Structure 1
Amino acid sequence: MVELKFVAPSWDEIYSKVIDLSLKIRGSGCKFDCIVGIARGGWIVARLLSDLLDIADIGSLRIEFYKDVGTHSRSPIVTQPVSIDVRGKRVLAVDDVSDTGSSLVKAVQHLIDMGAGSVMVATIHVKPWTIFIPDFYIEVTDAWIIYPWESYETIKSLTSRWIRDGLNSSEIKGRLLSIGIRGDVLDRILPIVLGDLKGGSDGS
């Protein structure tokens, strides 16, 4: 089995990378009329870039994945169309990472279909296997990125996996600490995750 690699950037580290991203965008000479954050990972990055690039017009769209009928593959579907009028505008679409890249392909096509004059894409991270290379990005990594805005989701996913592997709560906490999740975060969130998993809750 291939051992997973993890990186767990802090809020400060993320903000520093987004500043770098904004400087790269400014340095390109490209101008934008609006920013569209791709939910959910792109929301926070889009808000930060809205400030750093001084672009007040900001919207969102959401893309989710569904299994194709009769196959094991998953296709991206726009479940919340872009929330602002992009007709004729120069749009900067923003996400946290280009992983498979398929959701970004879908997002760009949706924005074009909605009348955008042009679309460029910015992300913090890019995975080596992506099918979509953003116009602007900061770092390429093949690690599982644990963003600070998805602590519950990540802790729950890994905890569920390790419970199936037979680990107890103490061992699970040790592993989560070892991959970079802060102890004070774990002390508050891990008990909630364990309770939700025990009760069969989806956490919603």
Structure 2
Amino acid sequence: MADPLDPFMHCELVTWSQVCRLSLRVAGSIRESGFRPDVVVAIARGGYVPARLLCDALGLYDLHSIRIAHYEAGAQKISQARCYSPPPANVRGLRVLLVDDCSDTGDTLQLALEQLRCCQPQDVKVAVLHHKKVSPVLPDYYGRQIVAWRWLIYPWAVVEDLSGFIAVMKPCPDTPEEAVHQLHLRHGIKAPLKTVENVLALMRQRQAP
């Protein structure tokens, strides 16, 4: 696994169309397996969008969340996964589908599973869009397997992640064009200029007195 603190770690921009396609693939796998979840629990925040898409594809309405964090902006990893909100208490005796964007270190999924199982559900299955092969936790369902580790930048976290990457660049880029160039040079991604302009504007706003 690559070091998340590596200023030159390889990244991949995930598009909305890829997210939709992978969600449908995961939903198809769930139907084919015969698993019929009663409730979906999203791991906040990365699992929000995939969970909602799976609810729609599977015709499910009951959606809850549990907030667990292991990374901050720009792939900055905190010491250990932490649970910031309790699991939904009303899953006792139900079939639960636990959803996140990807399986990486496995710490987030493992903690979420431990928290959920304390609520005594009938069964818990895990679904993610991307399963990184290095993860010690094997999801029951995933849309795509990642063999060569890289950091995945999802469309709902582009500004957050890019601002984290740009903030640690030395020297800090003077222009959006230079930031785009450095992101490509350091992380192998082609960030849209308009997006980077928005990121830099947000960063300047935060730094203003």
Shorter chain as normaliser: what TM range? 0.7 to 0.9
* Aligned with 2:23 (options 1, 9, 18): 18
Please name the residue that 1:69 is paired with: none
> Paired residue for 1:184, among 160, 171, 194?
194
1:16, distance to aligned residue in structure 2 (A) = 1.1
* Deviation, structure 1 residue 195: 3.8
**Structure 2 counterpart of 1:17, which letter?**
L
Asked if the contact 1:7/1:180 (under 8 Å) is kept, the reply is no
CA deviations 1:84-123 (Å, max 9, x no partner) are 5100001000000111001101111111101111111000
Q: Distance in 2 between matches of 1:107 and 1:98?
A: 12
| Corresponding residue SS for 2:102 | strand
Deviation at 1:134, TM superposition (A): 0.5
**Of 30, 42, 46, which residue of structure 1 is paired with 2:51?**
46
Number of aligned positions between the proteins:
193
Q: TM-score, normalised by structure 1?
A: 0.85
The superposition leaves residues 48-90 of structure 1 with CA deviations (integer Å, 9 ceiling, x where unpaired) of: 1000011111100011349xxxxx9822222111235100001
Counterpart CA distance in 2 for 1:175 and 1:18 is 32
**What's the CA shift for 1:148?**
0.5
Runs of 4+ in 1 over 6 A off after TM superposition: none
Q: Tell me, yes or no, if the aligned pair for 2:70 and 2:78 is still in contact at 8 Å.
A: no
The answer to whether residue 37 in structure 2 is matched with residue 27 in structure 1 is: no
Equivalent pairs: percent with the same residue? Answer: 30
Alignment of 1:10-159 (within 5 A): 10-65=15-70, 74-83=79-88, 85-141=90-146, 142-159=149-166
Shift of 1:2: 8.7
TM-score (norm 2): 0.83
Change (3 A) 1:146 1:3: same
Match of 2:3 in 1: none
CA RMSD of aligned residues (A): 2.3
Secondary structure, counterpart of 1:191 in structure 2:
helix
- Against the structure 1 CA distance between its residues 28 and 4, is the aligned structure 2 distance closer, same or farther, given a 3 Å change threshold? same
- Does the Cα contact within 8 Å between 2:12 and 2:150 map onto a contact in 1? yes
SS state at 1:21 partner: helix
* Alignment correspondent of 1:193: 203
Deviations 1:145-188 (A, max 9, x none): 110001221111110121x3554434213233661322332233
> Take 1:96 and 1:73, find their aligned partners in 2: how far apart are those partners?
18
